[in-house]
Structure 1
Amino acid sequence: MRRQKISLLQNSALTSILLSIGIAHAAPFPTPEEVLKESRKGIRFSNACAKGRKITIAAVGDILLHDGPQIQAVHDPERYISLWGGVRDLLARTDLTYANLEGPVAWGIDRNKREVPDPGFVFDDIVYSGLPRLNYHHFLLDDMVASGIDIVSTANNHAMDRGPLGLERTIDALRAAGLPFAGTRKSNERDQKWFTITEANGIKIGWISCTRRINPDKPYPKDMVLNCHNDTNEIEKLIRRIVRKKEADAVIVVPHWGAQFTHIPKEKQIEIARRFVEAGALAVIGSHPHAIQPWERIITRDGRETFVFYSLGNFVSGHRQLQRRVTLILQLGLTRTTNGKVVVNGVNYIPVLMTRDNGFLTAQALDRHPQRETTQDVQEARNLLKGILGTSNVAPTHAPVVTNPECME
């Protein structure tokens, strides 16, 4: 009997250690196929009708500008806004709006990472270029701010496309534009926190951005970009610290992860998402696959309801394939309840398609498309989103933002 008690104590101690480093879990991870199956059913949260102060957050995926979108921006009077003009008003109507900035914004650096005279606002394919080594003019940031985007992630596989100097100039450009960011820092600012705080209606959100990888290149200072896989333990510690010290009311992690061009998340994404929410994150909103992936509600071991969206897909890009042009605007509702805790009250999405009209590219909400009932692309886009996210959480563009419609009187 004594031996059995010792064994139980040893197992309990081992479990505590494993839980502290994120290895042990209360239940096995669901498979990617199970996540997709549940995702189609839609999502509801038990705190939907909780009383308290509320905010809504819009989130969009990758701003990934190939040659075509950059050339259009240079020649259009609306510049980069022309790429999302069809949904610009939808970006500005929530309390906060997030996007993934995929690529540097670095003046005077060519594809080979050499300093050269800056050509100005042109697409020269030398300083300002598309794939494989991206770089954008700083007018992009001005146009994002003018459109209502409040926070961006900068940790992604293209973060070093103009080398360490390009990353640092991107940070300078973001600061000059007044656009908060998370995921990267300068080599001489290693004491800079890996998270950024935004505030709306008195609710503080702590944003943490990380990437699975950096495109193959010369070695770079690893502490300039936060890595989702290599730094997972550190990110968990960071989340716990933010929660413990009450530096933010809620933590949202925005990882750049997974495999490209697939609607099915990888098992590693499912594992890491659970590690982040168990550490204290309220939401995990992913990017990188350039395709929509499932979402799910996760109840943590301490009973918190959390939200994970594995990939928002592209927001604007030059991709031609339909699955890479189908996108959405996620709307996430949060409530600070009477006990001071911030909870998810609901989520919904606005279906969006990156359209091409005689070479002109723009993101357009499906329910605003002039041929929304007849265009084959629009119908295929609807079917694709239905097969991943279902239809019960679709939000109309003509109505006010409501993430918990079941509570409307």
Structure 2
Amino acid sequence: MKKLWILICCALLAGCSSANAPKDEKKETKKTSENTVVSFVGVGDNLIHDSIYKEADKLDGADQDGHYDFSAMYEKIKKDTKKADLAFINQETILGGDDLGLSGYPTFNTPSDVANGVVDAGFDIVNTATNHCLDKFQTGINNSSATWAKYKGVIAAGTYTSQKDRDTVRVIKRKGIRFSFLAYTYGTNGVAPEYDYSVAYFDDEQIRKDVAAAKKVSDVVIVSAHWGTENIHEINDEQKHYAQLFADLGVDVVIGTHPHVIQPVEWVNSTDGTSKTLVVYSLGNFLSGMLSVDNVVGGMIGFDFVKDAKTKKIAVENVKWTPIVTHFDGDGNPDNIMESRHNYKVYKVSDYSDELAQRHALNGYEGQTFSMDVIHQITNASIDAKFLK
């Protein structure tokens, strides 16, 4: 009888253990005949000028208290970014450590609190390989790394604190699919890194090694490419070269940043014709205080990674470009724009209006006109209509 009672207890405990298994684990073991779909969105340059962080200082409730609240600036796109299974952002300006002194253009140091706003908005993949990543030298990179490491479930790549860190491929998992994330920049404004491992620069041989390593530990390879010519909508030769290299190496998606204006989206076929890579050449600015109409019209790229239930192959499908705009008000006098910019907020263009466009501080600045028509003209000139469906 005693033995029977022990067996019953063991069976009950086993049942409880199974019932309390982590949800993700239970989902992993569940068999299904349906395709697995992982949604992705990406935005461009989170370019924090001093006028932006000074406003964030006020939004926190007290000036110059060392705390900053950027959340209101992202609230209009938050629904889309939080809903996506994966969300990418380019952190253009280094989170170099507030103790080093905050600064804007041309040598940036952004408040670490911007990470709170970024993560709260749903972003979990962060590029740190930009031309401004050495603005506070290796100390800034170390502080940036420590800041992003505080957020569970967020991966950041492009700058590194050791050779071991540089050699570690960033991987994030969704619905049983492993996604690796690599990042590269064309340069660092002439500032040389203290160590070879500090910054991931474009280099054919190194990229080949990195992609091979990423494929060993993941099912999908995503690359962030900080490239192109500033303020130019056309693709340059360096972009074409590396887009083809990534395609030939079997990279699934390339997300481009740096030009501060939007550039085309296209599928690039591998040279052997066996695969194709989605290349988004530039998403333009996400949040910034730049002073050209072209600089405040950006894009949010969206698509799905679809894993076929039968073949187990993963494809990129349902690619869509959503136009966005960085809004900021002035005081009505374009000559005062440097001091008067305020009320920074990123909008989807579908939620924007001519009334807001008329209020934009750039409307009338140096003879510029800003309107819904202008936004659509800029977008349509660079983005193929098939991605604007």
TM-score by shorter chain over 0.5? yes
Please point out which of 71, 90, 94 is paired with 1:81: 71
Amino acid at match of 1:91: T
The answer to whether the aligner puts 1:185 opposite 2:156 as a matched pair is no
Give distance in 2, aligned partners of 1:253 and 1:298: 14
Q: Which residue is 2:92 aligned to?
A: 102
Per-residue Cα deviation, 1:31-80 (whole angstroms, up to 9, x for no partner) = xxxxxxxxxxxxxxxxxxx9621111100001011111111111114821
Q: Return closer, same or farther for 1:167/1:75 CA change in 2, 3 Å cut-off.
A: same
In the alignment, the residues of structure 1 paired with residue 241 and residue 168 of structure 2 have an alpha-carbon distance, to the nearest angstrom, of 22
Out of 189-198 and 177-186, give the one that drifted further. 189-198
Higher mean C-alpha displacement, 349-358 vs 88-97: 349-358
Q: 1:220 aligns with which of 194, 199, 203?
A: 194
Q: Tell me which residue corresponds to 2:26.
A: none
Summarize deviations over 1:236-276 as a string: whole Å, max 9, x none: 22212332x2x111101111111100000101101111101
Does 1:133 pair with 2:126? no
Structure 1 unaligned blocks of 5 or more: 1-49, 111-126, 396-409
The 2-side partners of 1:199 and 1:385 are apart by: 33
Structure 1 residues 226 and 348 mapped into 2: Cα distance closer, same or farther (>3 Å)? same
What one-letter code is carried by the residue in structure 1 that aligns with 2:39?
Answer: T
- 1:151 maps to 125
Aligned partner of 2:18 in structure 1 is: none
What is the CA-CA distance between 1:108 and the residue it aligns to?
4.8
| 1:182-203 deviation digits (Å, cap 9, x = unpaired) | 111103x435435311111222
Question: Percent identity over the alignment?
Answer: 24
Q: Secondary structure at the match of 1:293?
A: strand
Residue from 212, 223, 226 that aligns with 1:256: 226
Structure 2 unaligned spans of 5+: 1-32, 61-67, 331-341, 359-369
Deviation readout 1:106-129 (Å, 9 max, x if unpaired): 32553xxxxxxxxxxxxxxxx111
* AA aligned opposite 2:281: Y
**TM-score normalized with structure 2 length:** 0.79
Q: In 2, are the aligned partners of 1:184 and 1:226 still within 8 Å (CA)?
A: yes
Structure-1 separation of matches of 2:211 and 2:196: 20
* Conserved? CA contact 1:58–1:94, under 8 Å: yes
The residue number in structure 2 matching 1:402 is none
Equivalences for residues 15-34 of structure 1 within 5 A: none
- What letter corresponds to residue 328 of structure 1 in structure 2? G
RCO comparison, higher one (Cα < 8 Å, 6+): 1
Q: CA RMSD in A?
A: 2.0
Provide the TM-score with structure 1 as the length reference. 0.75
Match of 2:362 in 1: none
Check the 8 A contact 1:372/1:378 in 2, yes or no: no
User: 1:351 maps to what in 2?
Assistant: 323
CA contact (8 A) 1:249 1:341 kept: no
- CA–CA separation in structure 2 for the residues paired with 1:82 and 1:288: 24
Q: In the TM superposition, what whole-angstrom CA distance separates every residue of 1:312-363 from its partner, at most 9, and x where no partner exists? A: 1111011121101001111021111222221111210211111123431111
Structure 1: distance between partners of 2:356 and 2:198: 47
Other structure's SS at 2:167 match:
coil
Aligned residue type for 1:339: T
Q: Which residue of 2 aligns with 1:400?
A: none
Matched residue count: 325
Could you give the per-residue CA deviations for residues 276-307 of structure 1, whole angstroms, max 9, x where no partner exists?
A: 12112011111000010111112222421321
Where 1:295 maps in the other structure, the secondary structure is: strand
- CA separation in 2, counterparts of 1:194 and 1:267? 30
* Contact 1:294–1:310 under 8 Å retained in 2: yes
8 Å CA contact retained: 1:59, 1:329: yes
1:195 paired residue number: 169
The 3 A distance-change label for structure 1 pair 374 and 362 is closer
1:179-328 equivalences under 5 Å are 179-187=154-162, 189-190=163-164, 192-217=166-191, 219-228=193-202, 231-243=203-215, 245=216, 247-300=217-270, 301-328=272-299
Partner of 1:362: 345
The CA deviation string for residues 64-102 of structure 1, in whole angstroms up to 9 with x for no partner, is 111111111111148212222221212111111000111
User: Larger C-alpha radius of gyration, 1 or 2?
Assistant: 2
- Would you identify which runs of 4 or more consecutive aligned residues in structure 1 move more than 3 Å? 189-192, 370-376
